A and B are shown apart, each in its own frame.
Chain A
Amino acid sequence: MAGLELLSDQGYRLDGRKATELRKVQARMGVFAQADGSAYIEQGNTKALAVVYGPHEVRGSRSKTLHDRAVINCQYSMATFSTAERKRRPHGDRKSTEMSLHLKQTFEAAVLTNLYPRSQIDIYVKILQSDGGNYSACVNAATLAVIDAGIPMRDYVCACTAGFVDETPLADLCHAEESGGGTSLALALLPRGGHIALLQMDARLHQDHLETLMEAAMTACKGVSKVLDEVVRQHLQEVSALTGE
């Protein structure tokens, strides 16, 4: 639909948000008991599940072992029911492989891998429902899962997308906005230090606008980090209440 108006003259987006507003973020940690760490996140209608195993001994080929730090192994997949039309291949296609690689890079930058030499950390992420910003939902879910597993990180890794419509940066794009043909930039941030763990953009953008777009994405990431922090604190409270402390 070419006629979709992504940003109205009054400054409303398709779903009623303003340009800088995020979608509603809801998250839970420790959803599965058998894994070392797990988390579930909803960013608007994008729903993702992350599970962490490890650190444990390197499985499979020993040659992958690194003697000074841990290997991070990521696998991204999408449920067959996650899109409007049934997806044929839940994982292993090119897009998923690329996404796995991105996740791996992101978490290698954030997890203190040098604490666990010769070991491996597995992060499995599954998109249950896809509505734009899959990468950022995965990163956020995985962050919570890693924290749940008790693996030390430099900081939360928070990710968010930002788009550019009518010379205005839009934070946290939904699917309709992403597929509307505009620019979309994904950014993973370590908010406290302001370090960028990953920055990805496929579309064309004039370099004059890049600065503002990144700025918008970083602000959005900081917003996400607040929500995640809240979730972690609440989870801790619940857990400590259960253990009776």
Chain B
Amino acid sequence: MIKTEKVLHLKSSRGRKVRVVREHYLREHVPCHSSLCQAQCANEGKVLSGEVTHYVVPDAGVARDFMEILEFREIQGIVFTQTACQAVQHSRGRRQYNRLRSLLKDPRHDCILFANEFQEYSYCPREKGEPQDKWQTRCVYHAAVWYHDHLAGMKPVVMITEDQTAVAEYSSLNCGVYILSTQEYLQTFWPELQAAQELYCSIAQSLRERGSEGTEREYTEHLPAEVLEAGIKSGRYIQGTLNVNKHRAQHEAFVRFEGSSNKNSELNSDVLVCGGKNRNRAVHGDMVAVELLPKGEWRGRTTALTEGQGEEKGDETQSQPMFTGRVVGILQRNWRDYVVTFPPKEETQSQSRNSQRILATPWDQRIPKIRISTQQADKLQDHRVIVRLDSWDSTSLYPNGHSVRVLGRAGELETEVQTILIENSSPPPRGGGQRLELGVHIADVTHFVKEGSLTDLEARARATTYYLADRRYDMLPAVLSADLCSLLGGVDRYAVSVMWDLDAQTLAVNKVWYGRTLIRSSYQLYYELAQALLNGEEAEVPELAQLPPGERDAKLAQLTQALEILTHVARRLRGQRDRGGALELEGVEVRAQLDEDKNITALVPRQPLEVHETVAECMIYANHWVARKIQESFPQQALLRHHPPPRQEFFNQLQDSARARGFTIDTRSNKALADSLDRAVDPRDPLVNRLLRVMATMAMSNALYFSTGACPVDQYYHYGLALDRYTHFTSPIRRYADMIVHRLLTAAIAMEKGAGPAKVLASNKELEEVAQQINNKNRAAQHAQKAAQHAQKVSTELFQCLYFRDKDPETDERCVADAVIYTIRANGMLVFIPQYGLKGAVYLKNREGQVVSERQDGGCDWQTGSLQRYLDHISTTTAAGTSTFNLFQHITVRISVQPSRCHSNTLRLEVVSNRPHQAPETQAQPPQPQGARGRSQLVQEVVRQAEEASQQAEEKRCRAPKLSKEEREFRQSKSPNLYSLLEEVREMALLDLAACGGAGGGGDLGAAAQACATSA
């Protein structure tokens, strides 16, 4: 090694310039990572293929500005120089650099890093007075020349640069090393890659525009990072994530600070950031530093509902003044890809002098308008386009961005589904005798998907299977999910099993066995069939259809008995958890019934069967025991899932609403919450309890994956399930986390047998990285505190809108429905419509200042008057009289669709009458939610009573599912038809709900309730 020195000029913490001398060691052997290498370089890991026509070396500027083009998988043989990588790291920040790192790690992408600055012959020291970019270009050029010579001239090397003088200076120096500009390069070598060229134009345009910006200040400058860091440490500034209020995106944003690092204990609620100036260019999701304003300028949160458009006049309806601040700096941008809609032509011309710049409106209301420079403005009007943000200078009112990909015309189904996707980027038991053997068998996916294989990497990148209302995006190829890893009836399948030896009386666990097994399911049941068997109804089991009647009855009795034991066990397991404080929460799920042309014929709230709960309980039990096992075996590097306790202030709404009905909700612990929710039952209106549970669900924080090494033991607790350790083990087909857990379990079993782990397991840090990635993917899918998966939720909304779009609200009776008020706001209330599972806002005051008033016959109309809000009711006063709307009161509303061009369509609700809706077809709706609620209440009670072994209530359950032939077929079928997909969404939501983001679904195991009733 040769030692040289590098002199750097850095800024010290006090802002002074400091001369720093750093050592710089050079070596002769730096691996070139090319398969053509003649010099026996120690090439480890990824190697460039020798099959490409040339190698391409982007210079620092190209790597910095045009990374997205280099990300095209078609462009192969990229040699990133260390110089270029460092340029990316310094000028683009950690996010961009991490993207580059993952690109370099991705085996599907043919690119490598060459550490040119540590190579003796390719390193060139920076000369005195040489500008940095010149030096970087020179370094990259020398690296390219070295690379070419190193491979003995076997491959031509192309260096791409944006610097025209460099092209002129170097291009004639060496044969075999070509210098081109990016555009030339793309045109010469990749003429067929149209998308890359368009992307190039779009980025180049936005770069040019950035240079020619005006100088007037729109915002105050951000403070430098050192000042922010010092300020946060001293408590002067508060660090947190900016959350923009969706309904008042222009004005209100909140900063939620991270963790308990803040010593300032009086700050226990969010900080309000009011208005665009105070927000100072921060975008939703960014990590910001805020400074509190003097107390005199504090303001309250606006409680009025707004429709998210236009300016508000006098904000007279404010709550208590709260902490208010302004953003002084941005610690980390959290920009992602946004979907925007280009405005139609007539608007573009009026809004900018320069027709090349267009203000496009993002689909997400919380994101400000984005200025995009494009020449395709005409072509793109009314299209939805993916854009990336580039910068937001203090001189510009809006952020600058560039377009990446066109999704399609707004309003088309395909475009809308793509939009949603991008915006949300992203057990069978054995029983008998004194002891019971309970086994949960999960398909052995990791046997087929080897760690590090391409399938594995792709699955890791996808992290989960996405379910939308009419389609799904699989994590694993269909051959695995539908066949090899589906425990079909009558065929041998590989599985990973957990078997418990339980005491029949006390359910104490005598022994647990984990291992790989071979499974042949005797029966492949689906939920409705199993429920029918349990209820003692006539049901036809396909596997038994061929047998003679006598034998069939015997088998059927055996099967039914096994199912009963399973149900019994699950109920008692659930009871155990309930005593520990497990929560039973509610989410609202709707199933859209579609006809052949994908038209929606009805919206039906889904109804959980008891079998669902049984299977979910077994899954939770298996997950819990696997978590215990892997945590014991790998105390530092096991992937678990925890559910932190929710913040108390989120319960305020729930407590207020409950108080209006005379219930108190105790939120001090999960047990107290569960008990008080159980007590809060109004005998006259079962919906009250259901709504309270929905509100409790919304207050929950998210369950998260983590690596045991990264978290103290007391934080392993799962709040919702009341378990000390929990993980995801039961759905490896559709969740990547489960695959990791499978691998950990396999390694743990191997370790127990004396063999060391076959391979070095992922370290704590790597695991934590993966866990974060999966969490992010899940958060995208499983938004905020809602139990239902977000993408699904949005897609459900999409389908709800589609359903109501074609109905005329004035005449169609289906558009009038019964609704329950669950929250009172300043100018209206939030209601829940059980018939369609809809939640929405109802305004009692319109833009003209008129309020809703009640006529003699109960109907409502708009009249001039005033509005008065109380804690538990809201009343309108007009010349005609006063009408009052109480919390939890039933009213009748009309549903209509409010079209929106830039955002998704929304449903609009209007009060029709202040009385419960009594349309004839309400009765005609076969399964009423009331009935459903009554049933599940019953189930809940039964669970408790089961502890005392009293189960007579069981027989009272009489629900006759009409199992038509098609339905049975659809539920069994694995082909992606709509019905089965919706069915899976339903199952997933159910199970996730049961765990509030917890239990896995047995759904993808083909509802393969395999019952092997043998006595132990």
Contacts and interface: CB of A to CB of B under 8 A. Distances in A.
A15 B89 contact: no
B765 A12 contact: no
Q: By CB atoms of chain A within 10 A, which of B24, B25, B26, B94 has the most?
A: B25
B21 A21 contact: no
A16 B25 contact: yes
A206 B710 CA distance: 11
A212 to B, nearest CB: 12
B23 A45 contact: yes
B113 A84 contact: no
A15 B18 contact: no
B3 interface: yes
B652 interface: no
A16 B30 CA distance: 10
Contacts of A16: 1, 24-27, 115, 117-118
Contacts of A24: 1, 3, 23, 25
A167 B763 contact: yes
Given A9-B104, A84-B12, A45 B26 contact: no
A24 B115 CA distance: 21
B20 A17 contact: no
Nearest to A84: B18
Describe B's contact surface by its main secondary structure: mixed
Interface in A12-71: 12, 14-17, 21, 23-24, 44-45
Contacts of B93: 3
B712 to A, nearest CB: 12
Nearest to B225: A2
A93 interface: no
B516 interface: no
Interface string B631-674: 00000100000000000000000000000000000000000000
Contact of A12 (B16, B97, B115, B709): B115
A208 interface: yes
Q: By CB atoms of chain A within 10 A, which of B23, B101, B115, B118 has the most?
A: B23
A137 to B, nearest CB: 14
B450 interface: no
Contacts of B115: 8, 10, 12, 16
Nearest to A3: B94
Chain A interface bracket (under 10, 10 to 19, 20 to 34, 35 or more): 20 to 34
A92 to B, nearest CB: 24
A16 B112 CA distance: 18
Contact of B765 (A14, A167, A176): A167
Given A3-B94, A15-B23, A21 B1 contact: yes
Q: By CB atoms of chain A within 10 A, which of B22, B90, B101 has the most?
A: B22
Given A45-B5, A84-B18, A15 B765 contact: no
A8 to B, nearest CB: 8
A84 B89 contact: no
A238 interface: no
Contacts of B18: 84-85
B105 A15 contact: no
Interface residues of B, number: 32
A211 interface: no
B150 interface: no
B26 A208 contact: no
Contacts of B765: 166-167
Nearest to A166: B765
A221 interface: no
Nearest to B114: A10
A152 B805 CA distance: 96
A45 B20 CA distance: 11
A176 B22 contact: yes
Interface in B103-119: 104-105, 113, 115, 117-118
Interface string B3-23: 101000000100010111111
B23 A174 contact: yes
Contacts of A45: 5, 21-23
Contacts of B22: 14-15, 45, 174, 176
A116 B764 CA distance: 53
B24 A15 contact: yes
A81 to B, nearest CB: 12
A174 B3 CA distance: 14
A96 to B, nearest CB: 22
Contacts of B113: 9-10
A208 B129 CA distance: 49
Contacts of A9: 101, 104-105, 113
Contacts of A8: 115
A5 interface: yes
A108 B26 CA distance: 39
A177 B30 CA distance: 22
Given A14-B22, A23-B23, A176-B22, A85 B94 contact: no
Q: By CB atoms of chain B within 10 A, which of A16, A17, A24 has the most?
A: A16
A104 B113 CA distance: 47
A15 B25 contact: yes
Nearest to A167: B763
Interface string A71-95: 0000000000000110000000000
B12 A44 contact: no
Nearest to B105: A9
Contacts of B20: 84
Nearest to A1: B10
Contacts of A15: 22-25
Q: By CB atoms of chain B within 10 A, which of A10, A17, A176 has the most?
A: A10
Nearest to A83: B18
B108 to A, nearest CB: 17
Contacts of B1: 16-17, 21, 24
Contacts of A208: 636
B104 A84 contact: no
B225 to A, nearest CB: 8
Given A3-B93, A17-B25, A174-B23, A12 B636 contact: no
Interface string B74-95: 0000000000000001100110
A180 to B, nearest CB: 13
Interface string A195-214: 00000000000101000000
A211 to B, nearest CB: 14
Nearest to A5: B89
Nearest to A46: B23
Contacts of B24: 15-16
Interface string B22-55: 1111110000000000000000000000000000
Contacts of A166: 765
A84 B118 contact: no
Interface string A129-159: 0010000000000000000000000000000
Contacts of A23: 3, 23
Interface string B265-307: 0000000000000000000000000000000000000000000
Contact of B23 (A10, A44, A84, A167): A44
Contacts of B636: 206, 208
B68 to A, nearest CB: 21
A131 B8 CA distance: 14
A12 B119 CA distance: 12
Nearest to B85: A8
B789 to A, nearest CB: 34
A176 B89 CA distance: 17
19 contacts: A3-B93, A8-B115, A9-B101, A10-B113, A12-B115, A15-B25, A16-B26, A23-B3, A24-B1, A24-B3, A44-B3, A45-B5, A45-B21, A45-B23, A84-B18, A131-B21, A131-B23, A167-B763, A174-B23
Given A9-B105, A15-B25, A16-B26, 11 more contacts: A3-B90, A3-B94, A12-B118, A14-B22, A15-B22, A15-B24, A16-B115, A21-B25, A24-B1, A84-B12, A85-B18
Interface of A: 3, 5, 8-10, 12, 14-17, 21, 23-24, 44-45, 84-85, 131, 166-167, 174, 176, 206, 208
- 4 closest Cβ pairs, A-B complex: A16-B25, A16-B118, A15-B23, A24-B3
